[in-house]
C-alpha cells in the first residue's frame, strides 16, 4: 500500500471552485474523459448538504508494467483501454467545504486507486501574513488530495498456497518456495503501486490546470462561456486535436 498527498490553492471563491468542479469535464486537459453521468443526486433535508454520485468513462494508455497482467481482450492497440471511475461527493455550501472520493471500477485486483479531495473556503483571517502580503483575493479555496494505492496482484493465489502448509506437516522445501513467491509477489505489487503514484502526480497537475481553465471561463463569461468552451472541447477531442 502506498499513499500520495498534495495540497494546492485556487485564487477563487469557494462557490466558484465548487461549481467548476462539477463542470470540469470536458476541458483542454481532460480529452481522455469520454463521458460523465450523474447516477444519483439528492439534498439531505437535515443537513442541507448536496450528495452526488457520478460515473466517468475514461480512456488511457495502460503502463507496460501493468499491461502484461491484463487479458489481451481488455487492452486495445498500443495498450489503450477504457475504464469507469466512480465519484462520490458531498458539499456544504453554508460551511464552505466539498469532499469527494473517486475510485477505479476495473482491474481492482491489480491496482485499486482511491482519491479523496477536500476543498475548503479559506478567508483572509485564515491566511498567514505572507499570503496576505502577496495580494491574494480576500477569499481563496484550499484543496487537499490524498490518494491510496493498493495492489492485490497474486494475493489470493498466495493465500491458497499457504493454507495447505498451515494445515499439514510440510517438509522444509515447500515453505521456502512459498517465501520466495511472497517476496516476488510483494515486489511486483510495489512496482505497480509506484506506477500508480507516478501517473497520479501528472494527473493532478493536469487536473488543476483544467480546473483553472473552467474557473477562468466562469470569471470571464459565466455559465454561457463554460458551456461554449465545453462545446469547443468536444469538437476538438472528436477531431483528435
Q: What is the pLDDT, as a whole number, of residue 69? A: 63
Instruction: Note the pTM of the prediction, 2 decimals.
Output: 0.80
For residue 75, the 8-state DSSP code is S
pLDDT along the chain (241 residues), means of 10: 95 97 96 94 98 94 65 59 94 98 89 96 71 66 97 61 48 47 72 88 95 98 96 86 59
Closest CA to 26 of 227, 240, 239: 227
Q: Which helix (H) or strand (E) holds 50?
A: strand 50-61
Which domains are assigned to the chain? Answer: 2-238 (3.30.530.20)
What does residue 152 show for φ and ψ, rounded to 5 degrees? -105, 15
Tell me if the bond preceding 92 is cis, omega within 30° of 0.
no
User: What is the model's pLDDT at position 171?
Assistant: 47
Are 135 and 120 in contact by the 8 Å Cβ rule? The answer is no
Res 109: pLDDT: 79
Angle subtended at Cα 72 by Cα 194 and Cα 156, rounded to the nearest 5 degrees: 55
Query: Do residues 223 and 230 lie in contact, with contact meaning Cβ atoms separated by under 8 Å?
Result: no
Provide the pLDDT for residue 166. Answer: 45
Cell 485486483 belongs to 109
As a 3-state breakdown, the chain gives helix, strand, coil percent values, each rounded to 5, of 45, 30, 25
71 close to 62: Cβ distance less than 8 angstroms: no
Amino acid at each position: 500500500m502506498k499513499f500520495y498527498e498534495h495540497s494546492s490553492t485556487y485564487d477563487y471563491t469557494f462557490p466558484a471552485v465548487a461549481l467548476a468542479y462539477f463542470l470540469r469535464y470536458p476541458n483542454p486537459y481532460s480529452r481522455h474523459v469520454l463521458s460523465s453521468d450523474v447516477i444519483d443526486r439528492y439534498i439531505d433535508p437535515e443537513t442541507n448538504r448536496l450528495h452526488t454520485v457520478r460515473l466517468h468513462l475514461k480512456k488511457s494508455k495502460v503502463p507496460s508494467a501493468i499491461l502484461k497482467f491484463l487479458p489481451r481482450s481488455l487492452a486495445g492497440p498500443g495498450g489503450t483501454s477504457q475504464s469507469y471511475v466512480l465519484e462520490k461527493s458531498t458539499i456544504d455550501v453554508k460551511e464552505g467545504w466539498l469532499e469527494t472520493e473517486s475510485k477505479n471500477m476495473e482491474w481492482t485486483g491489480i491496482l485499486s486507486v482511491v482519491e479523496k479531495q477536500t476543498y475548503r473556503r479559506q478567508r483572509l483571517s485564515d491566511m498567514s501574513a505572507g499570503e496576505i502580503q502577496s495580494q491574494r483575493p480576500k477569499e481563496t479555496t484550499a484543496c487537499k488530495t490524498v490518494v491510496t494505492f493498493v495492489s492485490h496482484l497474486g494475493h489470493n493465489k498466495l493465500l491458497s498456497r499457504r493454507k495447505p502448509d498451515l494445515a499439514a506437516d510440510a517438509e522444509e522445501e515447500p515453505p521456502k518456495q512459498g517465501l520466495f513467491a511472497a517476496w516476488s509477489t510483494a515486489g511486483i505489487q510495489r512496482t505497480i503501486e509506484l506506477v500508480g503514484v507516478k501517473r497520479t502526480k501528472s494527473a493532478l497537475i493536469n487536473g488543476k490546470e483544467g480546473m483553472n481553465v473552467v474557473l477562468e471561463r466562469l470569471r470571464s463569461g459565466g455559465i454561457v462561456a463554460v458551456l461554449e468552451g465545453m462545446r469547443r472541447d468536444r469538437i476538438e477531442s472528436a477531431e483528435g486535436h
